Amino acid sequence: MSESNPNAANYTAANIQSLEGMEHVRMRPAMYIGDISTRGLHHLVYEVVDNSIDEALAGYCDTVFVTINENNSITVEDNGRGIPVDMHAKEGVSALQVVMTKIGAGGKFDKGSYKVSGGLHGVGVSCVNALSSHMRTEVFRDGKIYVQEYSIGKPLFAVKEEGTTDKKGTRQTFLPDATIFDTTEYSYDTLANRMRELAFLNKGIKIQLTDKRAVNEEGTVKSELFHSTEGLSEFVRFIDQSRPSIIQKIVHMERTDGPIPVEVAMVYNDSFNENIYSYVNNINTHEGGTHLQGFRRGLTTTLKNYAEKSGLLDKLKIEISGDDFREGLTAIVSVKVAEPQFEGQTKTKLGNKEAVSPVSQVVSEMLEAYLEEHPNDAKAIVGKVILAAQARVAARKAREMVQRKGVGSGGGLPGKLADCSEKDPVKSELFLVEGDSAGGTAKQGRDRVFQAILPLRGKILNVEKAMQHKILENEEIKNIYTALGVYIGTEEDSKALNLTKLRYHKIVIMCDADVDGSHIETLILTFFFRHMKELIEGGHIYIATPPLYLVKKGNKAEYAWNEEMRDALIAEMKGAGQESSVNVQRYKGLGEMNAEQLWETTMNPEKRTLRKVTIENAAACDHVFSMLMGDDVPPRRAFIEANAKYAKIDA
């Protein structure tokens, strides 16, 4: 019998916390919006915009205005029906107050109001209200303006009339609670990527994004209108604008009359990557699911049948696999499901079995018609498939040379790797360091128990423009694979990454703080995004931030990570003593620091700053990587010119 606990007698009904929905949101915000960092902050906007998109899907709204105000509050306005304001029979208050203050309340749960709705969790605007220090709702309905305001989710007054109007719709303004979120500063680019995505996924809708914090010399605020008339075809064109197409036009397929509306757009380019993005009710299902399964089935069956009938495969001596049909393919699959069932690690994998057949059928019928009508395109696609099959055989041989044997025993590890003694991957870190010189310093400065060092010689291969077997033959990339202990290929997908024997759960890119260092950093990130995306999605990839300056005066020395910190330290040190020549050292390379300095500033877990690499919007990332790292110069030049104001001359 176990010993009695003296506190057990005090465990009564008073110890049981009964939290109302809104209180629970504030106590456990990550359960509702993912996290309380930048991602969760922006998720608040998406929840409110989703309501407007739902109005549009139901046929009642065509314009949404999203505004970042000067104080980082957000205003979202639409021209929909407006939230109902009449009395709610069960709750005894205005329906508007119920929607704004009760978790799980809203029209999305009434099948008569919305056939399908966006948003992953259905917590909606009441969750946003609970996590805002102040929120104001204005409803334009029946010729009148109705208003209610809230503080941390609680009404400040009953819903009241405040004048007349000829408008219709809803305007929501909210200020995120600074006591909840790590940061309350919104990123225009992050919001722009999502608004652009929503416009592509819901053709015809106009979304105006305005940033009142950004005003140019003429007094004009930064603003952008997102509006797509072609939908997914335009989306594919946007993603693929830096990649030369091998077919004449984008293949577009759409069916809205079935139980599950399906829209698909696809094109083949001259790259060696497969880029398929799938959506359910505007949610990016980056783990795929049954709709993606249907797309792959329809694509593979149709192309294989065409290739065999045409006799184009007669001379091929190797078997074609499903992977071969998707090399160089950029595609977007979007379905609308009334009651989606989400599975997977992050609940972004569609589980509805009834989605397979409609997608497969649409792809088969429309792709078959396209191939018959465009024989030259069909021949180009099959030619690409044959090349992919031949490259796959070469890649398999290269992969066999890379695969680790006896992971954990140290066998087969790269000679340059200085491993750590810790065997638990969760506690182990691997630093990918630019150059042998900095690698040597890092080896001396590290904690040998849990920190491993892999020096990389020069600039690794630009994988954006290389075939799989060429990538696997590259010495530096081979070293990364073998050091990490991962291998390529599963029964379902021969290109998938198997992470079961990952040796380090924290992989840190550590490069010089100069132009060359930034380029190497980008090359490594391109490799991870294209060939080890699972590591990024799992939260394993980080970027080290070595200091830029050492500011010294006498015996006092301080590090600075940017110009503002440097100038503040100079001013502080000048004011502290009689002499005026403070010494400033600019670190251009990691090798300029000794081992102790590198440990103190960049590697010591108690003092360092690491930036975690995340993928907020995979389609937008794809667009940027192909534009920056591909062969097409004009889009890259336009990007550089647009962002030149952020560039600094490396003095």
Q: What is the pLDDT of residue 301?
A: 94
Residue type, 536: I
Q: CA–CA separation, 205 vs 55, rounded Å? A: 11
Helix (H, G, I), strand (E, B) or coil at 122: coil
CATH, residue 487: 3.40.50.670
Verify that 171 and 44 share a domain, yes or no: yes
The pLDDT confidence band at residue 80, using thresholds 50, 70 and 90, is very high
Number of alpha helices (DSSP H) and beta strands (DSSP E) in the chain:
19, 26
Q: What is the pLDDT of residue 402?
A: 67
Residue type, 37: S
pLDDT above 70 as % of the chain? 88
Lookup: tokens for 388: 């992919």
Q: What is the pLDDT of residue 114?
A: 53
Among residues 108, 129, 166, 152, the alpha carbon closest in space to that of 33 is found at 129
Verify that 80 and 192 share a domain, yes or no: yes
Q: What is the pLDDT of residue 18?
A: 41
Helix (H) or strand (E) holding 625: helix 618-629
Q: What is the pLDDT of residue 272?
A: 86
Candidates 512, 521, 592, 622; catalytic one: 512
For the stretch 165-194, pLDDT in tens is 999 999 999 999 999 999 999 999 999 999
Q: What is the pLDDT of residue 562?
A: 86
What average pLDDT score do residues 429-434 get? 94
Domain C-terminal end among 363, 398, 433: 398
Q: Within a domain: residue 628?
A: no
Q: Within a domain: residue 174?
A: yes
Q: What is the pLDDT of residue 117?
A: 62
**Of the candidate ranges 180-189, 303-312, 484-493, 502-511, the one whose mean pLDDT is the lowest:** 484-493
Q: What is the pLDDT of residue 14?
A: 45
Q: What is the pLDDT of residue 577?
A: 55
Q: Quote the number of domains for the chain.
A: 3
The pLDDT confidence band at residue 408, using thresholds 50, 70 and 90, is very low
Verify that 425 and 529 share a domain, yes or no: yes
Q: CA–CA separation, 129 vs 175, rounded Å? A: 9
What average pLDDT score do residues 306-327 get? 86
According to DSSP, the β-strands at 541-544 and 506-510 are parallel
Q: What is the pLDDT of residue 496?
A: 67
Instruction: Output DSSP code: residue 646.
Output: G
Beta bridge partners of 550: 559, 585
Q: Within a domain: residue 424?
A: yes
Lookup: tokens for 53: 């998109």
**Of the candidate ranges 135-144, 390-399, 592-601, the one whose mean pLDDT is the lowest:** 390-399
The pLDDT confidence band at residue 651, using thresholds 50, 70 and 90, is very low
Q: Within a domain: residue 552?
A: no
Q: Which domain holds residue 438?
A: 409-546+611-615
Let me know if 166 is a catalytic residue: no
Q: What is the pLDDT of residue 394?
A: 83
The pLDDT confidence band at residue 413, using thresholds 50, 70 and 90, is confident
**Dihedral-angle region of residue 311 (phi above 0 means left; psi in -120 to 50 means alpha; beta otherwise):** left
The pLDDT confidence band at residue 252, using thresholds 50, 70 and 90, is very high
| Residue that has been written with the tokens 């209610």 in this structure | 148
Let me know if 434 is a catalytic residue: yes
Verify that 338 and 204 share a domain, yes or no: no
Q: Within a domain: residue 551?
A: no
Q: What is the pLDDT of residue 619?
A: 84
Q: Within a domain: residue 645?
A: no
Q: Within a domain: residue 590?
A: no
Task: Assess whether pLDDT exceeds 70 at residue 8.
Answer: no
Verify that 222 and 243 share a domain, yes or no: no
CATH, residue 41: 3.30.565.10
Alpha carbon distances (Å) from 235 to 196, 349, 450 = 9, 21, 44
What average pLDDT score do residues 35-61 get? 92
Instruction: Check residues 174 and 622 and name the one with the higher pLDDT.
Output: 174
Q: What is the pLDDT of residue 28?
A: 87
Candidates 514, 537, 567, 600; catalytic one: 514
283, 120 contact by CB (below 8 A): yes
Verify that 477 and 430 share a domain, yes or no: yes
Verify that 192 and 219 share a domain, yes or no: yes
What average pLDDT score do residues 285-302 get? 93
Q: What is the pLDDT of residue 406?
A: 37
Verify that 189 and 331 share a domain, yes or no: no
Instruction: Output DSSP code: residue 3.
Output: P
For the stretch 446-467, pLDDT in tens is 999 999 999 998 788 888 888 8
The pLDDT confidence band at residue 213, using thresholds 50, 70 and 90, is very high
The pLDDT confidence band at residue 35, using thresholds 50, 70 and 90, is confident
Candidates 234, 240, 323, 434; catalytic one: 434
Q: What is the pLDDT of residue 419?
A: 94
Let me know if 516 is a catalytic residue: yes
Packing angle of the helix pair 618-629, 633-642 (nearest 10 deg)? 110
What average pLDDT score do residues 212-218 get? 88
Q: What is the pLDDT of residue 488?
A: 74
CATH, residue 362: 3.30.230.10
Query: Which span out of 72-86, 303-317, 549-563 was modeled with the highest average pLDDT?
Result: 72-86
Q: What is the pLDDT of residue 6?
A: 46
Candidates 516, 534, 558, 616; catalytic one: 516
Q: Within a domain: residue 595?
A: no
Verify that 385 and 269 share a domain, yes or no: yes
Verify that 237 and 138 share a domain, yes or no: no
Beta bridge partners of 226: 207
Verify that 194 and 264 share a domain, yes or no: no
Domain C-terminal end among 349, 370, 398: 398
Verify that 221 and 269 share a domain, yes or no: no
Domain C-terminal end among 366, 398, 430: 398
- Please, what is the average pLDDT of the chain? 86
Q: Distance of alpha carbon 459 from its chain centroid, rounded?
A: 26
